[in-house]
Amino acid sequence: MINNFKDLSYRDLEILNIIQKRGPIAKKDLQVIADIKLTTLNRVMKTLEEKKIIVEYGESQSTGGRKAVEYDVSKTGLYVIGIDLSRTYVKLILTDMKLSILKKEEFIMDERHSPEKVVERIVSLIEQMVTNLSITKNEILGIGIGTVGPLNREKGIILNPKGFFNDNWINVPLKAMLEEKLTITSFIDNGANTAILAEHLYGLGKDLRSIVYIHCGIGLRSAIMSDGIIIRTMNDREDAFGHMIVDYNGEENTSGNCGCIESYSTIDSIIKKINVQAKQDNNKLLNEINYREILKLELQNNKVTVEVINKGAEILGIGLANLVRLITPELIILSGPLIMDFEHYYEKSIETFYSKNPIANKVVFSKGGKFQEDVIALGAAAMVMELYLSSI
């Protein structure tokens, strides 16, 4: 099946791209969107049907006269795998060509999870998925990985990221490791970029040209789309927004940068500040595993915890106000554990944004976007689909 896909012409891919994004769709509508002759369209449609890449979906509703046949991509025969590889967990999804999730798996990472062990676990889960769904590897278009930067995206190497529990996540040739084990073509990008791609193509950002996605977790992972194009940083780093300075006399972060957003508005920075007081009070120390439960309790009656959380949210809101003045996005999606697990943190960030940004911007905020916590993995799958549709 993959070979059938690779044999498609540029015109075939153009029509397939429209059907994949807009299907089910009638032939007359396809002809208008593609602006091609009906004879050419019929020839392309015949090729795609013979290869079983598209199918007749049904008939459109009629306002009179004969009903038109509608077409969509086949839900069987070709599949994509998307992986969200974070510092603390790995999520895998298997989708059809419409990016509908057919199977999902996830596991937590700790100090025992070296790159080799993680790849071994990923390979095992993919093989289980394929077996359980009676799919062959020849039916999988590829594997997309959304992960933590900085990266060498072309070679598929994770360079020197911060925050992994295991110290061996340096210069990891993730693409090559997976391809060697599975013989399935793999692609890699930073997870914030795959997230914004998913929301742009299939989610809340559909038909929008300017979007911001920010993942608030152990670090701050951000992606920006301007005029429909993802703006890439050197080495595909995803922490550029987090290093925006909002107080030049402020606190120093782990990179030696003083007064930047990351010094206040990440899980790591919040844990460190609260643990200073916890040591003095002989209370249980927070870490990346237990912080959720303890923070939720302490937010009810611990003044220091409330102040630290509020400060982090306020600094995030100030950073957002600065960013919006620079690039005027239509949509900002805030996600990640600090946003999804703590409603107050999200609300305080937005409240601060509006208090520091009195100009009437038309930006819309979303908590988690359409795809919520699946967005990075789903975007990684979308990345694979887009690379094939653009004739890699």
Q: How do residues 318-363 score in pLDDT, each as one tens digit?
A: 999 999 988 889 999 999 989 998 888 999 999 999 988 766 568 9
- Cβ atoms 385, 97 nearer than 8 A: yes
Residue position matching structure tokens 């550029």:
240
Taking the C-alpha atoms of residue 172 and residue 227, their distance in angstroms, rounded to an integer, is: 33
Whether 14 has a pLDDT exceeding 60, the answer reads yes
Residue position matching structure tokens 């790159």:
115
The structural architecture, per CATH, of the domain 204-369 is 2-Layer Sandwich (3.30)
Average pLDDT, rounded, for the chain = 89
Taking the C-alpha atoms of residue 316 and residue 314, their distance in angstroms, rounded to an integer, is: 5
Q: What is this structure's pTM? A: 0.90
**Averaged over 197-223, what is the pLDDT?**
93
Q: How do residues 216-231 score in pLDDT, each as one tens digit?
A: 988 899 999 999 999 9
Taking the C-alpha atoms of residue 361 and residue 342, their distance in angstroms, rounded to an integer, is: 26
Every domain of the chain and the residues it spans: 2-73, 79-197+375-389, 204-369
- Counting residues of the chain whose pLDDT is more than 70, the rounded percentage is 91
Whether 43 has a pLDDT exceeding 60, the answer reads yes
The structural architecture, per CATH, of the domain 2-73 is Orthogonal Bundle (1.10)
Query: Residue 64 — pLDDT band, cuts 50, 70, 90?
Result: low
Spatial CA neighbour of 174 closest among 166, 182, 32: 182
Q: How do residues 128-147 score in pLDDT, each as one tens digit?
A: 999 999 999 899 999 999 99
Whether 294 has a pLDDT exceeding 50, the answer reads yes
Task: Report the amino acid identity of residue 127.
Answer: E
Q: How do residues 249-290 score in pLDDT, each as one tens digit?
A: 777 776 677 789 999 998 888 888 888 777 777 666 666 666
Q: Which helix (H) or strand (E) holds 160?
A: none
Taking the C-alpha atoms of residue 95 and residue 217, their distance in angstroms, rounded to an integer, is: 26
User: What does each C-alpha distance from 209 to 226, 327, 328, 329, 364 come to in angstroms?
Assistant: 6, 11, 11, 8, 13
Least confident range from 12-26, 210-224, 227-241: namely: 227-241
- Cβ atoms 23, 73 nearer than 8 A: yes
pLDDT of residue 362: 81
Taking the C-alpha atoms of residue 130 and residue 354, their distance in angstroms, rounded to an integer, is: 48
Taking the C-alpha atoms of residue 8 and residue 390, their distance in angstroms, rounded to an integer, is: 11
- Cβ atoms 118, 165 nearer than 8 A: no
Phi, psi (5° rounding) for residue 165? -65, -35
Check if 2-73 and 204-369 are the same fold.
Answer: no
pLDDT of residue 392: 46
Spatial CA neighbour of 226 closest among 213, 236, 212: 212
CATH fold of the domain at 79-197+375-389: Nucleotidyltransferase; domain 5 (3.30.420)
pLDDT of residue 2: 72
Phi, psi (5° rounding) for residue 391? 65, 70
